[in-house]
Amino acid sequence: MRGFQQKIKDKITGFNAPLFISKAGSAHIFEAEALDRRIPFLTELKQIPGVSSIQAVAFKPLLLQSTRFNDTIQIANGQDSLVQRQDMLGLMLKGVESRYNWSFIQEHLVQGRVVKPQNLNEVLISLDISKKLNIKLNDEVSAYHIKQQPILKKLKVVGIYNTGFLEYDQKLVFGNLTLVQQMSDNGTKISLRPKLNGKAEFLITVEVEGDASNLLFDWGLGKDIYTAQRFASLKDTTLKVYAYRFGNESGKMELIDSAQIEINTPNILSYNDLQLENGTPVCLIDGVQEQVFATQKGPLRFRFLDGMGTAAQFISGFEVEVSDFTTLASTEKALKEAVEMRPVNQHLLQVSNIQDTEADLFSWLHFLDFNVLIIIFLMLIIGIINVGSAVLVLIVVRTSFVGLLKALGANNRSIRKIFLWQAAYLLLRGLLIGNTLSLLLCWLQDRFAVLKLDPAVYYLDAVPIDFSLWNFVLINVLTFGTCMIALLLPSRVVSRISPIKAIKFQ
């Protein structure tokens, strides 16, 4: 039972840390609102006793689509039919930092490797997901996620893990934190783009992705609300714009992002110099980093250098690893005192305990303690009955011996001690044989995993063993002590034996 509880606990905390810091109001860590990771007192939190590490993570729901594959199904007449399938699964992508502790996943890695920080489009999936979607190692899979609209992204499977813990194996995919940040609409990012609107003028506009609230833009003449610049004519130049937002912590305007556009013209151009088709300027190149339009004087070229934005600063929260799970309550209390009721960027933080987040699983594990008590109680009752019966038999068989001792002057107490010593010998002999067999069976199970379990039911594929010297000694002392105390009652039969009757019986 202890081994089972520990293994399940290790698997739960292997996927998610014991403590999680997120924006206040989040019901579950998978649903946490985006949080600005720039917390001024983060270093202070790392000094709290019991905290071993703090790592940023982000979660993003996605749909993973398999490639087309052939499958065999059984039709109504009992014959097999070959069909083509392309399945989809709704999953949760967990983005982790480069210094993430992969020890738990590497322990259960069956193929490939963990993701590399420099390769953003790498992911790690479970064996259960790979079977359902017919995905092999190093396959490129299609992932759909929601930004401002559904977006398709190609991801490469570089590793497959199998923990047997289907609660998470069926839904969790691992990837880089930057990948999740790119797939989200968090933060603010600006870019400059030309708009040729047919009004005999050129318009250079700021396009904002993500949070566009309360922004001011500086085109070189000071901060203002204007998001565009109009030009009657264009010449070779570079335009740069800066985006600012008021910082509640600092009380000043803070630089959020910057972007620029490089304009190359064959000569000074007016809007009338553009070549039009059906009133629309002719676009020769329409790329992400460059646009080229046809004019009567030659190509008009725009090159873009978009801003980096603040998306890299937004996460779902911080996973807090603890040095000792038994002191989780005290570590959580200290962390809450340091985090809660301290506003960060106009919002409050909260600390979640994995025992609350996964309350059903931990309630189930705690309920097993009750099963252990029942089993120990029943086995003690059996031991008391068996040894008590043996002592009674010894006394009955030795009735004449008891009578002779009493006739020679022995008192009841000294005679009872003789039988209690015999009972103690039987107990110790039984404990020795039982412990030897149990240790042998535990070693065989730990070494060869003879007794198997159904992972769909127990979340483990074999019965786990967690040997504790303290538990081992405690159960032996408890058994011996309880049985010896219980034997005081049957040993009182000695006092009822009359020496005269015992000798006559002989």
pLDDT over 80 (residue 83): no
Only one residue has tokens 């689509």, namely: 65
Give the Cα separation of 139 and 122 in Å (integer).
Answer: 10
| DSSP conformational letter for 462 | B
Structural tokens at position 325: 């799970």
Q: What is the pLDDT of residue 70?
A: 65
Residue 506 pLDDT > 60, yes or no?
no
- Alpha-carbon gap, residue 367 to 354, rounded angstroms: 17
Look up residue 48 and give its two tokens. 């709290």
Q: Which residue has better confidence, 164 or 431?
A: 431
Question: How far apart (Å, rounded) are the C-alpha atoms in residues 333 and 340?
Answer: 10
Averaged pLDDT, 283-302: 92
Cβ-based neighbours of 133, under 8 Å, separated by 6 or more: 64, 65, 66, 87, 88, 89, 141
What percentage of the chain reaches a pLDDT higher than 70? 94
Residue 499's pLDDT is 76
Q: What is the mean pLDDT of residues 407-412?
A: 85
Kindly report the number of other CB atoms within 10 A of residue 67's CB atom: 15
- Under 8 Å between Cβ of 502 and 438: no
pLDDT on residue 71: 64
Checking DSSP bridges between strand 122-126 and strand 150-161, what pairing results, if any?
A: parallel
Q: Is 187 in a helix, a strand, or coil? A: coil
pLDDT at 160: 96
Pairing state of beta strands 88-96 and 172-176?
A: parallel
pLDDT-derived band at 82, boundaries 50, 70, 90: low
Secondary structure E strands in 69-184? 69-74, 80-85, 88-96, 109-112, 122-126, 140-146, 150-161, 172-176
- Give the SS3 label for residue 480: helix
Instruction: Please check whether residue 53 is in contact with residue 45, taking contact to mean a CB–CB distance below 8 angstroms.
Output: no
pLDDT at position 498 over 80: no
3-class SS of residue 108: coil
Task: Supply the mean pLDDT for the chain.
Answer: 89
125-134, 172-181, 183-192, 497-506: least confidently modelled range:
497-506
- Residue 76: pLDDT band by 50, 70, 90 thresholds? low
Place of tokens 């790498």: 122
Identify the residue whose tokens are 């300027």: 281
Lowest mean pLDDT among 72-86, 116-130, 387-401: 72-86
pLDDT band, residue 464 (cuts 50/70/90) = very high
pTM given for the model: 0.79
Around Cβ 307, how many Cβ atoms within 10 Å?
21
Confidence class for position 301, pLDDT limits 50, 70, 90: very high
Q: Is the pLDDT of residue 300 over 90?
A: yes
Instruction: Check: CB of residue 323 under 8 Å from CB of residue 52.
Output: yes
Reported as a single tens digit per residue, the pLDDT across 415-426 is: 888 889 988 998
Size of the chain, expressed as the number of residues it contains: 506
